[in-house]
Structure 1
Amino acid sequence: MATYINLAISPFATLLVALITFLIFFTLEKKRKTQHSDQVKRTPPGETGLPWIGETMEWHRAQVKNRIFEDFIRPRVQKHGTRFKTRLMGSPTVIVNGAEANRFFLSNEFKLVVSSWPTSSVQLMGKNSIMEKIGEQHRSIRGILTPSLGTGGLEPLVPKICEVVKTHFIKYWCDQQGEKIIPLYRSAKFLTFTIMCECLLETKAEEGIFECFEKVLEGVFSPPLNLPGTSFWRAKRARAEIERVLVNVVRKKREEMELQDDTNSSNQVGATSLLSRLVGALIRGEITEVEVVDNVVLLIFAAHDTTSFAIAMTFKMLAQHPDSYSLMLQEHMDVQRNRSTKDGDNLTMEDLKRMKYTWQVVRETIRLSPPIFGSFRRAIEDIEFEGFTITKGWKVLWTAYGTHYNEEYFANPERFDPQRFEEGMTIPPYVYVPFGGGPRICAGYHLAKLNILIFVHFVVTTFNWSLLHPDEPVVMDPLPFPSLGMPMKVSAKDVV
């Protein structure tokens, strides 16, 4: 019996020893090859941390506090330089800082890199939206969207947007008893959502659908686990409800346009809305219904969340810098006095162009507090950049903070100074990048500017206001927002 056991175990033990030896040899050889490859390719310096996890936990801790640049990036820049490698969420990642890095990676979209979003973001925003399109498909959809979102397409909408803003203030801000506390961030969110729906999509803004968008946002960067009770599961259910509503809107608009028997109606006066252009392209067979819905979802998110944060931060800066507020208020009072009576209480595009100092304030605000920290790209081939090789498949992260807070570009970068953006002041390309750059530069830039200027005008000319917490901290989950919602005390100066 003992002999039998020895004979049975011996081959197994031999095999086990051989397997362990092979694994050790394989691991050491792989490490040697990796080190040799890194030496040959000269990858950027840095530390990738633990397998798969890498430095994700350190990143997450900094992100929650809205201190990614201060607590994660800056210490590594000081240690490794402006280009360094790390590992985030399972991917080897190179983080780059500086105008030249921004220019190189943003302008080489589709050539050397492509946009890279988490799986959860793609599923919730829509895999058929412009954020997932590359090359000619991206250019085609952008060509459909741009005319409605440029100054020419938006100018006829200015009076309508003014009416939406005034109606919002009458309903939510005015109080016959005098003072009222307004949650500024949420109020600006719902207002910009309403403008998007009623002025560009020709549909009523429902608070229930707004809440669905809020639920979707909560799951955009969560693990894609579609299990009951998870953030992603709740977000998917909310996304399905949004899609149901938007499909009905799109089909109703298509019926109206087809009844007119004119697929070029989007070029006629009164038919230049974003929805009209998208449905017109659908009728002509340029895009599908799914693409229309996915792009509408993406644009609503992009428009209402980032714009509302910029508005909240603008009022925070004005509350902290009363001299700037006095100058800005004077500008708006001048615009109000010189406004043509034929336009009633509404603004025109010419009025908005006169708000030069206000736009300086806003630009300086979003330099200090960009609504988007930066974005990830994925290398589609080995990239040679400044003596380093970024391996195909690796992620690249460019950041707005890398230039916005750099003394090379902005003296005393942490100081609020709207004069940086006076007419005649030259800022080098790819230094000021709150709206990105290259082929993927934000298509809604002009809409955001218009919404912010109109919002600010009617607040400062209609209300006395003060923030309850002028030093309110900003946190992230998943995008930056004022931690207390930016409560504002308001009282009407006059009848709106």
Structure 2
Amino acid sequence: MMGDVQQFFVDTYREMGPVYRVRALNQSFVIMAGERANRFLLERGDEVFTSEESFGGLNSEFGMRVHVLRGRPHRHLRKVLGSGLSRDLLAARWDDVAAETERQFDTWPGTVRVVDRCQRLAAAQLSIALTGASSAERFETLRSAFELVLDVTIAGKWPRATLQWPAYRRARASILAFAREALDHRATHPTGRAPDLLDRALAAVDEHGEPYPMDVRAGMALQGYFAGINTLAYLYSFMLYALSAHPGVLARVTAEANDGPLTFDRLRRMPALQGLALETLRVYPPAPGSARTAVTGFDFEGFHIAQGRRVLVATSVPHQLPEHFPNPERFDIDRDFGSARKASVYAPFSVGSHTCLGAGMTEVLSVATMAMLVRRLIVSPATPARPLRITATPGPNPGKRFTLTAGPSARRSS
């Protein structure tokens, strides 16, 4: 579970069945997996589960209240946040995001430490798309503090006492100050543009019409960064691995990207690149499991899960089952993902009321970013090429040792 957690879930599902107990990372929990587990989470998740124990640290450390709410308050805050993480906002800022993406790619030629470069790229893109405020000067602070919180509060890889380290406390204070400064600046200097995450946070009221406290507003301002940087960066990294490992796919997406101007509207008409994004999410899902705690006892597949039990619903296990995806070991960008979505067996961002708020923006940005990359750069495996070694720190990714060689493309126009 410290490495390829998705493969671990698939292997244990095949060996143990749809529900079993695990002790790992100094924790004991129940794993539910398979199509029926996804359906259970979708239909009964709000009734029997809470995410407060697993995600409460995000709220206590950074005011991200949405992770610990249930029922109407949760639905209301998700709606507020969702309006600030929408594809429409990305469309409104497309020219700025595209220009920054190309500027980032112009620094890539040479040997590229893929995960690091993709994290920096994602941070720059999200800064512009979500807030218009650059986080470049605080990038290292953001990355180290966010990853530590995820490792402590969600993965449980480090004791909670780790969050009392002076270096972390200073980083946390700097991040919260950044969020509050951005909100204060926006309050006194409105942009007059389409409302973004900062505008939504400033205007947000709770389900009773009362303004949210400042710490919750700051958490809202950080939400896109927190959930988004690594999700995007790891997806970009795996997409680059897929392109380097499958020359035929690379040829198709390159031809498609170069077939006309790269406008935002055209992103919807790029089936090869969309297939690349969706297939990468199938094979390398960013959220292979959803951590919950049972608020009441319940039965699943003939077993009783007691109140208070920690549960991990391995929502992406169906991705590797042939009854849902024929020849699942084959990387195939022409799969039919529409029917799999409807059946809740394609679930790279989980299912139910806690599905990732930025899933739509993530998919669009990944298509756009890979299109711009293959137009401007030629990437190839570094010498000697290393086999892919997935790690789960803090989420599934190709690891710090994954490198590629990048060079300028003969065609660098937009």
Q: Can you list the C-alpha shifts for 1:178-206, whole angstroms capped at 9, x where unaligned?
A: x5222222111111111222221121222
Counterpart of 1:331 in 2: which secondary structure? Answer: helix
Provide the TM-score with structure 2 as the length reference: 0.88
Matches within 5 A, 1:301-316: 301-316=226-241
State the alpha-carbon separation in 2 of the partners of residues 379 and 76 from structure 1. Answer: 21
1:86, distance to aligned residue in structure 2 (A): 3.3
Q: For 2:299, which of 384, 402, 407 is the aligned residue?
A: 384
Q: Counterpart of 1:11?
A: none
Q: For 1:252, which of 179, 185, 200 is the aligned residue?
A: 185
Tell me the number of residue pairs that the alignment of Structure 1 and Structure 2 aligns: 403
Going from structure 1 to structure 2, the CA distance change for 1:427 and 1:277 (only over 3 Å counts) comes to: closer
Pairing 1:298–2:223 present: yes
One-letter amino acid of the counterpart of residue 396, structure 1: V
Q: Can you list the C-alpha shifts for 1:93-151, whole angstroms capped at 9, x where unaligned?
A: 22111112112123323311112544784367535431122222211211212223233
Q: For 2:112, which of 182, 200, 206 is the aligned residue?
A: 182
Q: Which moved more, 1:352-361 or 1:116-125?
A: 116-125
Q: Counterpart of 2:70?
A: 134
State the alpha-carbon separation in 1 of the partners of residues 160 and 349 from structure 2. Answer: 31
One-letter amino acid of the counterpart of residue 232, structure 2: T
**Residues 164 and 195 of structure 1 are in contact (CA less than 8 Å); yes or no, is this contact kept in structure 2?**
yes
Q: Which moved more, 1:122-131 or 1:284-293?
A: 122-131
State the alpha-carbon separation in 2 of the partners of residues 72 and 354 from structure 1. Answer: 34
1:368, distance to aligned residue in structure 2 (A): 0.9
4+ residue runs over 6 A deviation: none
Going from structure 1 to structure 2, the CA distance change for 1:459 and 1:348 (only over 3 Å counts) comes to: same
Matches within 5 A, 1:116-155: 116-118=52-54, 121-122=57-58, 126-155=62-91
Q: Counterpart of 2:155?
A: none
Q: Can you list the C-alpha shifts for 1:395-442, whole angstroms capped at 9, x where unaligned?
A: 2211134211112212222221112137x7655522011011111111
One-letter amino acid of the counterpart of residue 385, structure 1: F
Q: For 1:277, which of 200, 213, 219 is the aligned residue?
A: 200
Q: Structure 2 unaligned runs (5+)?
A: 153-157
Going from structure 1 to structure 2, the CA distance change for 1:135 and 1:328 (only over 3 Å counts) comes to: same
Q: Counterpart of 2:336?
A: 421
Counterpart of 1:109 in 2: which secondary structure? Answer: helix
Q: Can you list the C-alpha shifts for 1:77-96, whole angstroms capped at 9, x where unaligned?
A: 52x42211234567652211
State the alpha-carbon separation in 2 of the partners of residues 120 and 108 from structure 1. Answer: 21
Q: More relative contact order in 1 or in 2 (CA 8 Å, sep 6+)?
A: 2
State the alpha-carbon separation in 2 of the partners of residues 361 and 431 from structure 1. Answer: 18
**Residues 116 and 376 of structure 1 are in contact (CA less than 8 Å); yes or no, is this contact kept in structure 2?**
no
State the alpha-carbon separation in 2 of the partners of residues 299 and 406 from structure 1. Answer: 32
**Residues 142 and 175 of structure 2 are in contact (CA less than 8 Å); yes or no, is this contact kept in structure 1?**
yes
1:305, distance to aligned residue in structure 2 (A): 0.3
Q: For 1:444, which of 358, 379, 385 is the aligned residue?
A: 358
Q: RMSD in angstroms over aligned alpha carbons?
A: 2.7
State the alpha-carbon separation in 1 of the partners of residues 391 and 164 from structure 2. Answer: 19
Structure of higher CA gyration radius: 1
Q: For 1:84, which of 3, 17, 20 is the aligned residue?
A: 20
1:485, distance to aligned residue in structure 2 (A): 4.3
Pairing 1:235–2:182 present: no
Going from structure 1 to structure 2, the CA distance change for 1:92 and 1:481 (only over 3 Å counts) comes to: closer
Counterpart of 1:110 in 2: which secondary structure? Answer: helix
Q: Counterpart of 2:131?
A: 201
Pairing 1:318–2:248 present: no
One-letter amino acid of the counterpart of residue 107, structure 1: E
Q: Counterpart of 1:27?
A: none
Going from structure 1 to structure 2, the CA distance change for 1:350 and 1:90 (only over 3 Å counts) comes to: same
Going from structure 1 to structure 2, the CA distance change for 1:252 and 1:476 (only over 3 Å counts) comes to: same
**Residues 466 and 489 of structure 1 are in contact (CA less than 8 Å); yes or no, is this contact kept in structure 2?**
yes
Counterpart of 1:434 in 2: which secondary structure? Answer: coil
Counterpart of 1:365 in 2: which secondary structure? Answer: helix
**Residues 118 and 221 of structure 1 are in contact (CA less than 8 Å); yes or no, is this contact kept in structure 2?**
no
State the alpha-carbon separation in 2 of the partners of residues 91 and 491 from structure 1. Answer: 45
